[in-house]
Structure 1
Amino acid sequence: NDWVAKDYSANFSGGFARYSNGKAAEFTEYITYDKYTNTQKGKTYDGLKQRFANSKYTTTYNDYYQGPHFKFADGEVTFDDRSDAISATTIELPFKHNGSTLKYNEETGTYDYYEYGSAHKDAASGEQLTFENVILQNTTFADLGEGYLIYNAIDSGRSGYYITEGKAIEVNWTKSSENAITHYYDAKTGEEIEVNTGKTYISLI
């Protein structure tokens, strides 16, 4: 594979436990540091610790590391004082095949993920999948035929939204090369955004 052969690529292919989602061609794959057992099949798999030991890859950053991907805020990011912020309590993504939707949970302050009309839960723990931040990136794409699309994630000056705490602001994003960091800038101030600590859902649309 040409992508795996890139100097900056550190790729582990396969070997992780797959949990069936009840669909013929869709699975949830779990990666842990130590060995673990797939409770559905009773099969034990090596975790990252052993897989790194068996590979040529290092657990330290290589020469291609450009620093943290996100700028995390010291405090809480809210847009209550922003007149340009818009309400974003339900985010329906344009993926009609599974109805991907994120709903803001006021009790937890996070976005709960739904698909196929139901809450998407971790197959092992049964917990609801949630995110503190949501980023939507407006991208161009090319139709490769036979149902395949390629989204152009390397671009500059494209629009998008940063969404957190039930509100959204417009952003512009830039990614200069394959292994470069994607930077997100507040469309109003021009400053690089800071995000809330926690998981971030990024969607190319």
Structure 2
Amino acid sequence: MPYFQANLQNVRCFNLKRILALVLSVLMVLCLFAGCGKDEEKSPNAPDVNGDGLNKNEVVSGPINPLTGEKVSEDKSDLRPYCVMINNHPDARPSVGLSQASIIYEALAEGGITRMMAVFNDVDGITVGSLRSARPYYISMAQAYDAIYIHAGGSEQAYSDIKTLGIDNMDGVRGARSGEASSYYRDQTRLSQGKNVEHTLFADGSKLASFCKNNYELKHDSSYDNTYGLSFAEDAVSQCTNSSADFTVYYSYYNTTFKYDTDKKCYHAFISGDEYIDGGNNSSIDLANVIVLNVPTKTIDSYGRQAMELTGSGTGYFFTGGKYVEINWTRADRADNFHYTLKDGTPLNLSVGKTWISIAPLDSTKGIVFNG
């Protein structure tokens, strides 16, 4: 072979080796960066994935449940949620369906007893109960979500508000439309245990959803803010300035204690020493956030019915990750969302997951007692 041809082949082989070496080097660098991305540290106070619907508290891409910030497979943020009145009398516990709610409200009813309103992104396939009657201030809470309101009876003022305000609702007591009353049923086991009849009414969520599909518009208006004024962040706990893994909210002689579970990184709620559980699946109610709003209440009649103003502004507390911070809340009118800020006016970020909102007259009770 002539000298120049052999030399040309050597040059080509040398260049090919250099190119291969360069490609391998680039691939190694890319793999190194990819590995670093996988090992990136997350917030130590982020709720763990635990099979109970509580997702890691991290910002996600794609569709989310706007009530919890959790990632979902299908974007349903344009659909109206359901607000369901839940009985909290001792004979009505354990309630059914609470572990599947996105947000749980607790506020006073008559006789110093509290009542709950559970906010569901969807009720299809869920049994809920036992159900209780409507009150004007709960209707106001439901309006903050443009929600369909599920109840069993109500005060005369509540019925008046439902009519005059045009509240889309389902009533398990006076409901007379086709498919309305049949969505509700009495739990025969509880009746056989001697429970009073008012503590035994439940609803079949699939029938509720079917009735609403046939009678109401299921989507928000296109101009509606379907974030509900809520925002979520991975480091929401960094807003908190004080520690308290165990605290009690006093409504009256009724009180709810919240304890932070360091293993599951969430709160559990207790009443009279017993944990609130979902009687439908015997599971805990895992809470990423607890919000306590200081709202004065007053008794307005001989039955002990309450009145409270849920528009305007006020103060409160936000708990997440075993810590808390004082907050402010505002709401322009009944159609507005609740807006939460830190004391300096910075919008409040929630941790990803379920939220319990306590509405309590803190100034006329023991308020909040920090147990540890």
TM-score, normalised via structure 2 length: 0.45
- Amino acid aligned to 1:192: P
Instruction: Tell me whether 1:118 sits opposite 2:278 in the alignment.
Output: no
Instruction: Tell me whether 1:203 sits opposite 2:330 in the alignment.
Output: no
Instruction: Tell me whether 1:190 sits opposite 2:349 in the alignment.
Output: no
State the alpha-carbon separation in 1 of the partners of residues 350 and 204 from structure 2. Answer: 25
Q: Residues 52 and 136 of structure 1: is their aligned pair in 2 closer, same or farther, counting only changes over 3 Å?
A: same
Mapped contact 2:220–2:226 kept (Cα < 8 A):
no
Query: 2:24 matched to which residue of 1?
Result: none
Q: CA deviation at 1:118?
A: 0.7
The RMSD of aligned alpha carbons is 2.7
User: Which SS does the other structure have where 2:160 is aligned?
Assistant: coil
User: Which SS does the other structure have where 1:170 is aligned?
Assistant: strand
Mapped contact 1:174–1:183 kept (Cα < 8 A):
yes
Q: CA deviation at 1:26?
A: 4.2
State the alpha-carbon separation in 2 of the partners of residues 109 and 117 from structure 1. Answer: 20
State the alpha-carbon separation in 1 of the partners of residues 166 and 220 from structure 2. Answer: 10
Query: 2:169 matched to which residue of 1?
Result: 11
Q: Residues 202 and 5 of structure 1: is their aligned pair in 2 closer, same or farther, counting only changes over 3 Å?
A: same
State the alpha-carbon separation in 1 of the partners of residues 232 and 257 from structure 2. Answer: 26
Mapped contact 1:70–1:195 kept (Cα < 8 A):
no
Match of 1:71 among 202, 218, 230: 230
Mapped contact 2:287–2:355 kept (Cα < 8 A):
yes
Q: CA deviation at 1:67?
A: 3.2
- Amino acid aligned to 2:212: F
Instruction: Tell me whether 1:144 sits opposite 2:300 in the alignment.
Output: yes
State the alpha-carbon separation in 2 of the partners of residues 99 and 106 from structure 1. Answer: 23
Mapped contact 2:230–2:339 kept (Cα < 8 A):
no
Q: Which whole-Å deviations, capped at 9, do the CAs of 1:38-84 have from their partners, x for residues lacking one?
A: xxxxxxxx141x112331x11110378333124332423113x75xx
Q: Which has the higher strand share?
A: 1
Mapped contact 1:137–1:161 kept (Cα < 8 A):
yes
Q: CA deviation at 1:16?
A: 4.0
Gaps of 5+ in 1: 35-45
State the alpha-carbon separation in 1 of the partners of residues 336 and 262 from structure 2. Answer: 35
Mapped contact 1:77–1:196 kept (Cα < 8 A):
yes
Query: 1:42 matched to which residue of 2?
Result: none
| The 10-residue stretch of structure 1 (133-142 or 146-155) with the greater mean CA deviation from structure 2 | 146-155
User: Number of residues paired by the alignment?
Assistant: 186
Q: CA deviation at 1:130?
A: 2.3
State the alpha-carbon separation in 1 of the partners of residues 211 and 234 from structure 2. Answer: 37
User: Which SS does the other structure have where 2:334 is aligned?
Assistant: coil
- Amino acid aligned to 1:203: S
State the alpha-carbon separation in 2 of the partners of residues 155 and 149 from structure 1. Answer: 18
Match of 2:214 among 46, 50, 54: 54
The equivalences for 1:90-105 within 5 A come to 90-105=246-261
Q: Which has the higher helix share?
A: 2
Higher relative contact order (CA 8 A, sep 6+): 2
State the alpha-carbon separation in 2 of the partners of residues 86 and 31 from structure 1. Answer: 42
User: Which SS does the other structure have where 2:259 is aligned?
Assistant: strand
Q: CA deviation at 1:145?
A: 3.1
Q: Residues 178 and 18 of structure 1: is their aligned pair in 2 closer, same or farther, counting only changes over 3 Å?
A: farther
Mapped contact 1:8–1:179 kept (Cα < 8 A):
no
